[in-house]
Each structure stands twice: as C-alpha cells, then as structure tokens.
C-alpha cells in the first residue's frame, strides 16, 4: 500500500545566490562605482548657493541699514540698537530675515524649478523605457530650459510657483534668524565669543597652543 508523502515533511531546498556568496569589500570598488553618489551634486549646489548667498547678503545689508537708521534718529545718551539684542533687535532680525528669505527664493527659484522638472522627466523616461525595453537618455537641464522658454509666457515660466515658495521662506527664514539670535541671547553668547572660539581653533591648528601641557 502506497504511503502519501506529507508536504510539510519536505525540507525547502536552499539555493545559494551570488549576492550572498560574494563578500562586500570596499577594496573591490572602483571610482566609477562611487560617482553615482555625487550624480546630482552640481544641480543641488547651484540651487543651494543661489539661495544661501542672496539670503545672507540681503540680511546683513538690510539689518545694518535698519539699525543705522534707527540709531541716527535716537536721542543722545540712549542705548544704541543692536541686531538681535533685546526685543527691538530681535524684531530687526525677524524682519530682515523674512525679506532675505524672499530674496533668496526669487533668485534660486529658476534653478529649483529646473532641477525639479529634470528629476520628473528622468523618472517618466525610466517608466516608459521599462515598457519599451529601450534606454533613451533623459533630457538634461538645457532641454528643460528650452521647453519652458518655448511655452507661452517665455521667461515667466521659470518663476512658476514663486508666490507659494516666497511665502514659505518669508516665514521660515524670518523665524530662523529670530531663533538664532534669541538662543544667542538666552545663552549670552555674543559675536566676540564666536570670534574667540575661531581664534582658538586657528591657534590649535597652527600649533601655537600646546595641548599636552
């Protein structure tokens, strides 16, 4: 009489895969294997620098202008207004930071928009290529710029969505500078203290300070 085999008694067959057998070693990597980690470095850098440089420049110029104007209108003997010092100084930081955020958003918006469109076009091409089994090169930022400028509106298409982005950075950057100066006041850290720390680091690096003693 034949006995039926119990399916549960069968042991699963273990199959070794190449990925498990091979041991990962950094020494086996080539430079070309690491290059994809920095594939979006240039576009990201163009977007971040075009935002950060106008932000800090506008904040510095605007805050100094407001402080100089207010101090020139105050009576003799009154305490001079300083950026980030006291309620009035914090208000100056918040206002100048908010306007600086809008300036950074205006300058960097075309680069941010082009980077976004490039990423979207690349993903859409990957989906279409998986269906057709073809590897077409995705359009670069030059093609995206030409496409935007060819549409109705021309250069204005590079600033699509700017109002929403401007309002966002108006609030975020204004709050950023306000909190930065508020925390400095809370811990009683001034500009001279920060300069002193940098001087100490410089002295240690140049060997002017003996750390062993």
Kindly report, residue by residue over 32-56, the tens digit of the pLDDT.
767 777 776 777 788 888 899 999 9
Residue 25 lies in a domain: no
The pLDDT score that the predictor gives to residue 135 is 44
Going by pLDDT thresholds of 50, 70 and 90, the confidence category of residue 174 is very high
Residue 1 lies in a domain: no
Kindly report, residue by residue over 5-35, the tens digit of the pLDDT.
555 555 555 555 444 445 556 666 677 767 7
Residue 136 has pLDDT above 50, yes or no: no
Give the count of domains, the chain: 1
Radius of gyration of the chain (CA): 29
Residue 160 has pLDDT above 90, yes or no: no
CA distance linking residue 196 with residue 213, whole number of Å: 21
Residue 30 lies in a domain: no
Residue 32 lies in a domain: no
Residue 14 lies in a domain: no
Residue 6 lies in a domain: no
The pLDDT score that the predictor gives to residue 212 is 57
Strand (E) or helix (H) holding 128: helix 86-132
Residue 98 lies in a domain: yes
Residue 192 has pLDDT above 80, yes or no: no
Q: How far is CA 79 from CA 66, 88, 135, in A?
A: 15, 12, 69
Backbone angles phi, psi at 183, to 5 degrees: -65, -35
Provide the residue range defining the domain that includes 170: 43-70+81-125+133-206
Which range, of 91-95, 151-155, 166-170, averages the lowest pLDDT?
A: 151-155
Which tokens go with 97? 């930071």
* Mean pLDDT, the chain, integer: 75
Residue 19 lies in a domain: no
Go through the chain and tell me how many residues it has.
213
């Amino acid at each position: 009489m034949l006995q039926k085999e119990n399916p549960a008694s069968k042991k699963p067959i273990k199959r070794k895969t190449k990925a498990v057998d091979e041991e990962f070693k950094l020494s086996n990597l080539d430079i070309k294997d690491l290059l994809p980690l920095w594939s979006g470095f240039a576009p990201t850098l163009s977007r971040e620098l075009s935002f950060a440089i106008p932000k800090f420049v506008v904040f510095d110029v605007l805050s100094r202008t407001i402080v100089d104007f207010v101090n020139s209108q105050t009576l003799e003997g009154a305490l001079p207004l300083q950026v980030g010092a006291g309620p009035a100084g914090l208000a100056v930081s918040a206002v100048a930071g908010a306007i600086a955020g809008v300036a950074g958003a205006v300058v960097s918006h075309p680069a941010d928009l082009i980077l976004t469109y490039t990423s979207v076009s690349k993903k859409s091409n990957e989906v279409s290529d998986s269906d057709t089994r073809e590897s077409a090169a995705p359009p670069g930022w030059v093609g995206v710029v030409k496409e935007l400028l060819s549409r109705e509106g021309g250069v204005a298409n590079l600033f699509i969505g700017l109002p929403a982005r401007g309002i966002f950075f108006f609030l975020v950057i204004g709050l950023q500078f306000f909190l930065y100066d508020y925390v400095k006041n809370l811990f009683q850290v001034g500009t001279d203290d920060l300069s002193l720390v940098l001087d100490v680091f410089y002295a240690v690096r140049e060997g002017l300070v003996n750390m062993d003693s």
